[in-house]
Structure formats: structure tokens, C-alpha cells
Structure 1
């Protein structure tokens, strides 16, 4: 589910509280968050609605001038159901604050090494090797890093996303780089291997 920048800014201000999408099945769930460029958009409710039940007030709450403007913007792809998504504001993306935390507590270090150990059961050292490769080659295309790691590009990108969830990597226009937290983790991994 994508939002235009102007809509995201309106959600952040509290001016936009609804969104409407046509889906075969919803791509978001109530009680979850949707990561965006400005933070996590909180999803309060997702419910089907009949087109004829849409009101001008709902269209305005979704950032449109009126019902007609909203309907003109919605795709009408055959058998898709129309859903009303209730938006409950935006909260900061925790990954962004984690990225800058270069000082690791013992608890942080323990949690990260335990997670790497669980993830690396099939291929020990795989996730630390990803961090090492990104640290050595910031901005290198994912396909090249994947080949060097001996994995498919799609799997590699999924694995980098797991590291990104921990605030260890950042996506660039092409490739990735380590965040300050990722650099601290990589340095600690090197210390523990000596």
C-alpha cells in the first residue's frame, strides 16, 4: 500500500484519517503499522465498503475534494473489493533511531548474537558475512554481493532486510551501506573472532 508524499504529510498532521483501496484481499491488517518515508502509519481498521456507501465526508477525510474525485482516483479492476482503511496517525520508524545507536549495551550484543545464531543454523556465519561484505563494499549492487555470497539475489535482499529491521543497514540508490549501529556490530564481531 503506497501513499503519495502529500498524503503522508496530511496523515502526520491529522488532516487525513482514511484511505480507500481496491484489493482482491487486504494487504494491511488492523492493529499493524505500514512503513513509509515519514514513519509508521498506524492502521486502526480495514473494512470492505460498497462504492455507493461512500460519502463526501469520507472522501475529504481521505484527502480528496469530494466523492467523485476519490472514485476517479480509484482503479476499477474487475473483481476487486473496495476497502476503507482507518489511519491512526504516524509514529517514528524505530529502525531510524536504532541506526544511529553506535554504542551497544551487553544486552543489545547478546540479543544480536543470539539472533544471528538462530538465523545462521543452516549456514554458520552467513549474516555476519553479509555485514562484512556491505561494510567492505558500500553501494555495490545487491546482485554482485549475492553472487559473492553464493546465494540468489532475491534471498540476499530478503536477508539484508532482516538486518535492516535491526537497524544495521541502510538502503542506497544502488546497494547498501552499514549504519553506525551496523559498523559497531561488525567491529564487535571482529573483536570476538580474534
Structure 2
């Protein structure tokens, strides 16, 4: 179930708790938990509805600009039933805590056994350790560029990196990847000495929802955390090539969640 970034933020804030979809049959069930950029979103209800019976309150709770706008959105696939889906924020992604957990000797053995199984079942041969090392040596580099370095198709490469993410070994950034502390420990266990790495950025990172062009522009200005964004006004941000109105709105929303604001606001 696809949910737009702005809607995800509103669900987390409690401003939205409904979604409406045209599906031939329900694609989620009550209790489904979806991992998203803002954390876990849980499905609390699923029921078929008639668009004619929807009211303005339904539109408000779904984040639609009006009841008319909601009905127009549902008119796109009139042959499929309309479904009313209840949604609620269910907390942070548990992989966040896992990524920060440095494994002990027994956990390292279990992780390596899992990596061995992934290697053994792969049509391209062993890839897990090489990919961890590639990301470790090339943090924040675009996935297509990393895939090209090892002669792989981008989508297949990204699919494999997601398997490492499931184990808590990598973090996805707006541009590229980073090894988690857990992933660094797995790599270091294979080396004579722990690898020397640049210090981790402290503070809340830039939201991925602002998009790659805006992220790239902010990085070039030395801005990698929300706290650093507060030194800039909306006008200064818009003067950066790649930072448009949507990115600024999403930065404002992310800052508000942290009790922060742009300069002069």
C-alpha cells in the first residue's frame, strides 16, 4: 500500500487516520504493519464503502482537501470496490534499534551464518561481504554508482542491499547507504584491525522525503542534520539549486516535529 511522504508524516502526527483506495480485493488486513520512512504504520480497520456515502469528515481524516477531491480521486477506477482503511502510527521501525546494537561473539556467528546462506542461494555467487565492504568504503554514494563498480544491475543490487538492511547491517540514506554500527562490527571482525572511519554525524539527519536534489544541495553547503538547517531562512534555502518549495515544506514539517524552525520563523 503506497502512502505519500506528506501523508505518512500526518499519520505519525495523528492528523490523518484514514485512507481510501479502489482495489479489486483488500491488499491489507487489520493488524498489518507497514515499515515506512516515518516508522511503523498499522492498519486498524478495513471495510468496503460506497463513495456516495462519504462525508466531509472522512475527507478531513484522510487528508484530502475536500470531499469533492476525495471522490474525484476514487473515481479513477470505478469498476473496483472502494475501501476505507484505518491507519495509526505504531512506533519506530524496530530495525533502528537493531542497527545500533553491536553484536557479541554469538550474534556475530549467527549473522555470518545468515550471510553464508544468502551467498549460497544467490545466482551471482557470494556478494554479502563484498557489498558490506563496498558500502563501508563508499558511504553516501548513489546506488547506481555502487552497482556499476561491481558490474551489477542497479535494481538487483538494491534488492540485495535491502536484505542486509533487514539484518540491521546497513542504513538507507536519501543518497546512498551507510553501514550501521552493527554492520561495522561485522566488517571489522574480518579485519586484522578495526577500520578507521569518519565520525558519525550526530543529530537528526535530513529527512529522506526532501528528495535527492535537495539533499545533494544541502550536503554541498555542509548541512547534514536538521539542527544545521535552522541556520538558513526559506529564502536562503530556495536559492540553493535543487531545493524547491516542496523540499522546504518538508523541512519545515520535520523541524516542527523536533521543536525547531527555519531562521527568522
1:180 corresponds to 2:192: no
Q: Residues 39 and 89 of structure 2 are in contact (CA less than 8 Å); yes or no, is this contact kept in structure 1? A: no
TM-score (norm 1): 0.80
Name which structure has the greater RCO, CA cutoff 8 Å, separation 6+.
1
Count of residue correspondences: 189
CA-CA distance at 1:112 after TM superposition: 1.2
Q: 1:127 to 1:89 in 2, by over 3 A?
A: same
TM-score of the superposition, structure 2-length normalised? 0.61
In the other structure, the counterpart of 1:137 is: 138
Alignment root-mean-square deviation, CA? 2.6
SS at 1:190's partner residue? Answer: coil
Task: Please report how far the alpha carbon of residue 178 of structure 1 lies from its aligned counterpart in structure 2 after TM superposition.
Answer: 1.2
Which runs of structure 2 are paired with 1:109-148 in the superposition (5 Å)? Answer: 109-122=108-121, 125-148=126-149
Evaluate the alpha carbon distance shift between residue 8 and residue 131 of structure 1 in structure 2; reply closer, same or farther with a 3 A threshold: same
Partner of 1:42: 42
| 1:2 match: secondary structure | coil
Unmatched tracts of structure 1, length 5 or more: none
Which secondary structure does the structure 1 equivalent of 2:190 belong to? helix
Paired residues of 2:12 and 2:88 also in contact (CA < 8 A): no
Quote the Cα distance in structure 1 between the aligned partners of 2:65 and 2:148: 50
User: Is the CA contact 2:51–2:74 (under 8 Å) kept in the aligned structure 1?
Assistant: no
Q: Which residue of 1 aligns with 2:191?
A: 190
Name the SS for the 1:19 alignment partner: strand
Structure 2 alignment gaps of length 5 or more: 193-265
